[in-house]
């Protein structure tokens, strides 16, 4: 199986990075092919603009979506984007590994999706979305560390239900492009937890990964 891990944390010693290491070790030991995209280490550019294309179809008015479609049709994406797209196409399972910032993913990871999940390549509102999506044969899951506690992200908690907060990512982005969205793994209040709790999260993640084949997609 081909595994693509998108890791978005600027600190290699962070707990989010430790979770990433667990996934890399798990799949490597299983004999899977692992491709790690450490976006901060790569200095990945999250800003979509004219540089994403080898040529522009309309020099009078820049429409990013239309230029994405043009590049998809004419195979004229920039070389750095082609490399990311190739990694996505090859993957059977994609893991998004990130800390929850402002109830969502860090900007560098959001920018990866803005640029890589291009119009025409990853989706088309007319005939390439949800059940008929381009990536309907791929599985995806999020591994997330949070600043708040489990209770804070519960129904009635001060931050609201974590499942509702993740809906724009799970449904509006991943499922929209056809992916089979698996239940996320969450490490609560990681930056304030003691070593025993953190070790428990790491062991829990190993178990979560071991059971992925039996996990039921959210949609």
* Residue numbers annotated as active site: 147, 153, 159
Q: What is the pLDDT along the chain (219 residues), one digit of tens a residue?
A: 999 999 999 999 999 999 999 999 999 999 999 999 999 999 999 999 999 999 999 999 999 999 999 999 999 999 999 999 999 999 999 999 999 999 999 999 999 999 999 999 999 988 899 999 999 999 999 999 999 999 999 999 999 999 999 999 999 999 999 999 999 999 999 988 999 999 999 999 999 999 999 999 999
Answer whether residue 29 is part of any domain.
Answer: yes
Task: Write out the two tokens for 24.
Answer: 């890399």
Q: Output the pLDDT for position 126.
A: 86
State the DSSP string of 139-180.
EEEEEEE-SS-TGGGSTTSSS--HHHHTHHHIIIIIITTT-E
3-state secondary structure of 189: coil
3-state secondary structure of 37: strand
Task: Write out the two tokens for 192.
Answer: 């304030």
Residue whose tokens read 């949070």 = 146
**What global pTM score does this model have?**
0.96
Q: What is the CATH number of the domain that holds 197?
A: 3.40.50.360
Answer whether residue 219 is part of any domain.
Answer: no
- Buried b / exposed e over 62-77, threshold 16 CB at 10 Å, is eeeeebbbbbbeeebb
Distance CA 50, CA 64 (A): 8
Domain hosting residue 167, numbered range: 2-214
**Listed residue (13, 71, 5, 76) closest to 42, CA to CA:** 5
Answer whether residue 176 is part of any domain.
Answer: yes
Answer whether residue 90 is part of any domain.
Answer: yes
In the chain, DSSP finds a helix count (H) and a strand count (E) of 7, 6
Taking a C-beta distance cutoff of 8 angstroms, is the pair 171, 219 a contact?
Answer: yes
Q: Output the pLDDT for position 125.
A: 87
Count structural domains, the chain: 1
């Amino acid at each position: 199986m081909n595994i693509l891990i998108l890791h978005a944390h600027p600190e290699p010693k962070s707990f989010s990075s430790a979770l990433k290491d667990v996934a890399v070790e798990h799949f490597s030991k299983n004999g899977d092919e692992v491709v790690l995209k450490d976006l901060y280490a790569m200095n990945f550019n999250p800003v979509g603009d004219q540089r994403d294309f080898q040529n522009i179809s309309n020099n009078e008015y820049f429409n990013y979506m239309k230029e994405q479609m043009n590049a998809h049709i004419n195979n004229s994406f920039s070389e750095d984007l082609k490399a990311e797209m190739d990694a996505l196409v090859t993957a059977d399972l994609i893991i998004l590994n990130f800390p929850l910032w402002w109830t969502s993913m860090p900007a560098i990871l959001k920018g990866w999706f803005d640029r890589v999940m291009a119009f025409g390549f990853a989706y088309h509102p007319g005939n390439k979305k949800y059940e008929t999506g381009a990536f309907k044969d791929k599985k995806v899951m999020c591994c997330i560390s949070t600043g708040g506690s489990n209770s804070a992200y519960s129904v009635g908690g001060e931050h609201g239900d974590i499942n509702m907060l993740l809906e724009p990512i799970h449904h509006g982005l991943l499922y929209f492009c056809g992916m089979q969205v698996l239940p996320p793994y969450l490490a609560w209040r990681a930056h304030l937890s003691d070593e025993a709790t953190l070790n428990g999260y790491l062991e829990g993640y190993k178990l979560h990964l071991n059971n992925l084949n039996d996990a039921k997609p959210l949609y």
